[in-house]
């Protein structure tokens, strides 16, 4: 059985989908990923779909499920690199994936994950500190 590899990078899990998914493969990915979140206690999941040319309602549902499941396990899911044609089609299909965070590419996705996790508790007044730093350096 084919499998989509899941990479662990520090606190985050990284999945790059390189092939067109058929249903079973997508369902396996869903359960594998949730398992991995649990065993590694990951704080974030990053799914790169830049190589995916078709996302239909089934795939959309899987993505939504992964996001919701990770969320109750205290992990943030970010979907990155969606193709313009795929985005337009999903909207027309009626699937805006409103519960899912998105970013343009892996780099920005990582940045977003870091920010989300910081905002969610550990260093709450991080932003303010940075602003003060800025003022210091300009004066």
Partner 1 sequence: MKIEISKMLQKKKKQVLDLWMKNQLKDANLREDLMSNDELRVQSEELVDALLKKLTDENLADIESADFENVYEILSGISITRARQGFSPRETGTFVFSLKEALFETLQQELKGDPVALYDVTMKVNKLIDSFGIVTFETFIKGREEVILRQTDEITEISTPVIRVWDGILALPIIGTLDSARTQVVMESLLQEIVNTSSSIAILDISGVPAVDSLVAQHLIKTVSATRLMGAECIISGIRPEIAQTVVHLGIDLSNVITKSSLSSALKHAFSVLQLEVRKKQKENYSLKNM
Partner 2 sequence: MEKSRITTTTNSMTILTVLNRDNFKIEREQDVVPFRNRVKEHAVKIGMGLVNQTKLITAASELVRNMLRYANGGEILIEVVSKIRENGIRLTFTDKGPGIENVETAMKDGFSTGKSLGLGLPGAKRLSSEFTINSVVGKGTVVTIIKWKNG
Q: Which CB, 92 or 122, lies closer to partner 1?
A: 92
Q: Token digits for 120? A: 């969610």
Cβ of residue 46: shortest distance to partner 1, in angstroms?
11
CB of residue 92 vs partner 2: minimum separation in angstroms? 5
18 binds, among partner 1, partner 2, none (CB under 5 to 8 A by kind): none
CA angle at 102 for the pair 17 and 114, rounded to the nearest 5°: 100
How many residues belong to the site for partner 2 (CB under 8 A)? Answer: 22
How, if at all, do strands 101-103 and 76-80 pair? parallel
CB of 3 to partner 1, least distance (A): 26
Structure tokens at 61: 């549902």
Q: Is 20 in the site for partner 2 (CB under 8 A)?
A: yes
Residues, the chain: 139
Q: Token match 């999941």: residue?
A: 45
């Amino acid at each position: 059985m084919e499998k989509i590899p899941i990479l662990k990078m520090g606190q985050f899990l990284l999945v790059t989908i390189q092939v067109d998914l058929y249903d079973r493969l997508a369902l396996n990915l869903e359960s594998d990923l949730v398992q991995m979140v649990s065993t590694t206690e990951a704080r974030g999941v990053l799914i790169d779909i830049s190589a995916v040319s078709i996302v239909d309602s089934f795939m959309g549902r899987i993505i939504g499920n992964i996001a919701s499941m990770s969320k109750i396990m205290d992990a943030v899911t970010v979907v990155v690199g969606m193709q313009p044609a795929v985005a337009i089609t999903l909207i027309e299909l009626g699937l805006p994936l409103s519960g899912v965070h998105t970013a343009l590419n892996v780099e920005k996705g990582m940045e977003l994950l870091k920010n989300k996790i910081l905002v969610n508790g550990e260093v709450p007044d991080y932003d303010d500190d940075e602003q003060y730093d800025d003022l210091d350096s300009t004066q």
